[in-house]
Structure 1
Amino acid sequence: MACATRAVAPAQPCFIAADVGGTNARVSLVRTDANGALQVLSWQRYPCADYPSLAAILAEFVEGHPAREGIDCMVIASAGVVLDDEVINSNLPWRIKLAELRDSLHLRELHVVNDFAAAAHGVGRLGAADTRLLTPGVIAATTIGPALVVGAGTGLGAAVCIPTGHGVVVLPTEAGMAAFAPGNAREMEILAWLRKQGHRHVCTEQLLSGPGLVNLYRGLAELHGTLATLQTPAQIVQAAQQDEALALEAVLLFCGVLGSVIGDLAMITSAHSVYVAGGVVPQLIDFLPRSEFHARLVDKGAMRAVQERIPVRLVENEKLGVLGAASWYLQHLHARDHREQATPRPATTN
């Protein structure tokens, strides 16, 4: 494992770890044992669109748990940033109000961590059976180094996990907002089409996400002078599986862009390994070998020899987000305890 999270805290009471995305919220009750091993006691997935707020989801989870009276700490992994008392994220169906959560759930502690920062904390908790190698023949690096975690879902997210002697340092990013760089003539045409739709800044996630796959399909339809009849990523993937020409072209184009962007991010972060977390990629697993995914991943000029040695793995454990949020919280507790122990106490007199 290129980036491992150490067990950094003694046994703790139960707390809630949640992974909130644009489509689903995954909520768990977790604790650690005396050895620092993380235990997921219960876990539930909630479709976000079925609830009026995150508070309603969390209240339902807590109410359904026998130990609810003792649950007063929560850590939430969510895309976006915290501004004052609110999580700013355009991909969620509702706003997250921190004061509302604290009051309605009677919380003593509430923390919000970037969703991909949480995922980066979580990769050290994964076992061999939790991932699938997307770069056959490439084995793990023999030296410890940064791990890149990237995922294309409602948007595009990425974070970097850097191992240290005292746990890990995780750097969240806004990689999805970076300007899209076309890699061939067709992608230049798609870029021009998106600009015609009124987008002055065409960011990478406008192509590399669930909605991005729809953009690719619609753009290709206009370039071919045909009608775009499919409306959702799932419909496009299903049609591509049946070799419908336009849908297949869109999916293969998506896979090529994915390889190119992962390659760029791996170079920028000096990653020794890459983890692709959830989103739409698991639905495209059979298309990757048919696409330019690997060719675009390694085609980085003088850095090709380096890129060819970077293993890329698909994370197949749906609990990654909650494991990562919980791991972040445990490291946070360890750092807080260390600061408190290091603070000199005032002298007392008899």
Structure 2
Amino acid sequence: MSLSKIKIKANSSEKLILAGDIGGTKTSLAFFIADKSSLVLKKTQTFPTASADTPVELIQQFLNQHKNPPVSQVCLGIAGPVFNGTATTTNLPWTISEQELKIRFNWNQVSLINDLVALAYAVPHLNGDQLLPINNLPHPNHGNIGVIAAGTGLGEALLIWDEGRYHPCASEGGHKDFAPRNEQEYRLHRYLTKAFGHASMERVVSGQGLVNIYNFLKEDLSYQEPRWLAERLSAEDAAAVISQSALNKQDPTCIKALELFIQLYGSEAGDIALQAMTFGGIYIGGGIGPKIAPALKNGGFMQGFLAKGRMRELLEKIPISLIHDSQAALKGAAAYAQHRP
């Protein structure tokens, strides 16, 4: 449906919302029509984030393509910390502020929120078709929730249950220290510290994290990389090549790399579950999860999740699901704008 055909009813409570999900690899923008009780997606478009010098350029491009409609509310989820209305992207040299957008586009209502907070706003509204159970436990309609999402980086957020409703809470927990669990992981920690100066969880649980793990194993195992793999790694997205080669059982070191990545992903999810007592569940978002869904179900994620010593029995009670809705963060950003006064 072209935007030129979208009509806002006169003298109604309907409003046009611009929602965005600005990530390190891709940026999705969308128009929603909302009133007090409904939210309807009308138009969406995805851009390579690196195709523009600033997010303002992408927003302007999207608006121009759809005849600059009268936007009532704007909410953008940003892959990075947001403080006092200003966001700085973690894996891109971008800074954007609510005030800048208000002046540039003559908007009155602009909100910048962390991209995982946007995703968290969508989580309570996801249904069975949008979720893939990892441990086949039902999600209750109450209790704290943890959201974790590996993609270009590692995002985390919480939904705190209080007085009958959820309160999303931003986090930059993906940048906490990577804590090795065994001798191999101590060697991985030393490898990362030497390469980056600081070994964070994002250095192992993200797209680049999978590449880091593979490169470490190649060195640690004195592995002679086959020519076909070296050529693909240099010509294509390395993380995608490693995960595909592992899923297709084409290379033993790629298989080991993906197995360790999934265990560490599960371990970090288990840490979130313990820190916030997330009896409402853990939800896995991000771009990587759906691409490796069969491997996530194979047991390595749960092995990492449950390996918490005396807390294993507690963690066995927490449901875990993979989000299978690529527009969930957009919908969450729109929901945030919808309920602003």
Could you say whether these structures have the same fold, taking a TM-score greater than 0.5 normalized by the shorter chain as the test? yes
Does 1:315 find its partner at 2:323?
yes
SS at match of 1:286: helix
Per-residue CA distance 1:166-199 (angstroms, 9 max, x = gap): 6421111111111111222221221121122252
Equivalent in the alignment of 2:189: 191
Equivalent in the alignment of 2:243: 237
Does 1:305 find its partner at 2:324?
no
SS at match of 2:92: coil
Contact kept, 8 Å, 2:82 with 2:114, in 1: the verdict is: no
- Over the aligned positions, Cα root-mean-square deviation in angstroms equals 2.1
In 1, Cα distance between the equivalents of 2:273 and 2:254?
29
Cα distance change, pair 123–301 in 1 and its aligned pair in 2 (3 A): same
In 2, Cα distance between the equivalents of 1:207 and 1:299?
18
Q: Which amino acid aligns with 1:223?
A: D
In 2, Cα distance between the equivalents of 1:58 and 1:274?
32
In 2, Cα distance between the equivalents of 1:304 and 1:62?
50
Contact kept, 8 Å, 2:85 with 2:112, in 1: the verdict is: no
SS at match of 2:43: strand
Per-residue CA distance 1:195-244 (angstroms, 9 max, x = gap): 22252x21111000011001001011111123563351011112212320
Cα distance change, pair 152–203 in 1 and its aligned pair in 2 (3 A): same
Contact kept, 8 Å, 2:52 with 2:58, in 1: the verdict is: yes
Contact kept, 8 Å, 1:159 with 1:172, in 2: the verdict is: yes
What pairs with 1:18-167 in structure 2 (closer than 5 Å)?
Answer: 18-34=20-36, 36-66=37-67, 68-82=68-82, 86-92=86-92, 94-136=94-136, 138-141=137-140, 144-165=142-163, 167=165
Give me the identity figure in percent. 28
In 2, Cα distance between the equivalents of 1:289 and 1:29?
35
SS at match of 2:199: coil
- Give the CA deviation at 1:46: 1.1
In 1, Cα distance between the equivalents of 2:49 and 2:300?
34
Equivalent in the alignment of 1:173: 171
State how many pairs are aligned: 319
Contact kept, 8 Å, 1:33 with 1:39, in 2: the verdict is: no
Mind listing any 5+ residue stretches in structure 1 that lack a counterpart?
1-9, 334-350
Contact kept, 8 Å, 1:11 with 1:31, in 2: the verdict is: no
Equivalent in the alignment of 1:287: 295
Equivalent in the alignment of 1:248: 255
Q: Which amino acid aligns with 1:110?
A: V
Cα distance change, pair 198–47 in 1 and its aligned pair in 2 (3 A): closer
Q: Higher mean Cα deviation, 282-291 or 92-101?
A: 92-101
Mind listing any 5+ residue stretches in structure 2 that lack a counterpart?
1-11
Residue 209 of structure 1, aligned match among 206, 209, 212: 206
Per-residue CA distance 1:5-59 (angstroms, 9 max, x = gap): xxxxx9441120111100111111113235x122112111111112232111111
In 2, Cα distance between the equivalents of 1:302 and 1:103?
54
In 1, Cα distance between the equivalents of 2:87 and 2:146?
24
Q: Which amino acid aligns with 1:104?
A: R
SS at match of 1:42: strand
SS at match of 1:70: coil
In 2, Cα distance between the equivalents of 1:69 and 1:326?
16
SS at match of 2:340: helix
- Give the CA deviation at 1:122: 1.0
Q: Which amino acid aligns with 2:102?
A: R
- Give the CA deviation at 1:82: 3.6
SS at match of 1:18: strand
In 2, Cα distance between the equivalents of 1:297 and 1:57?
38
Per-residue CA distance 1:133-183 (angstroms, 9 max, x = gap): 1113x2224x62011111011111111112344642111111111111122
In 2, Cα distance between the equivalents of 1:148 and 1:261?
11
In 2, Cα distance between the equivalents of 1:74 and 1:194?
39
Contact kept, 8 Å, 2:17 with 2:34, in 1: the verdict is: no
- Give the CA deviation at 1:286: 1.8
**TM superposition score normalised by structure 2:** 0.87
**TM superposition score normalised by structure 1:** 0.85
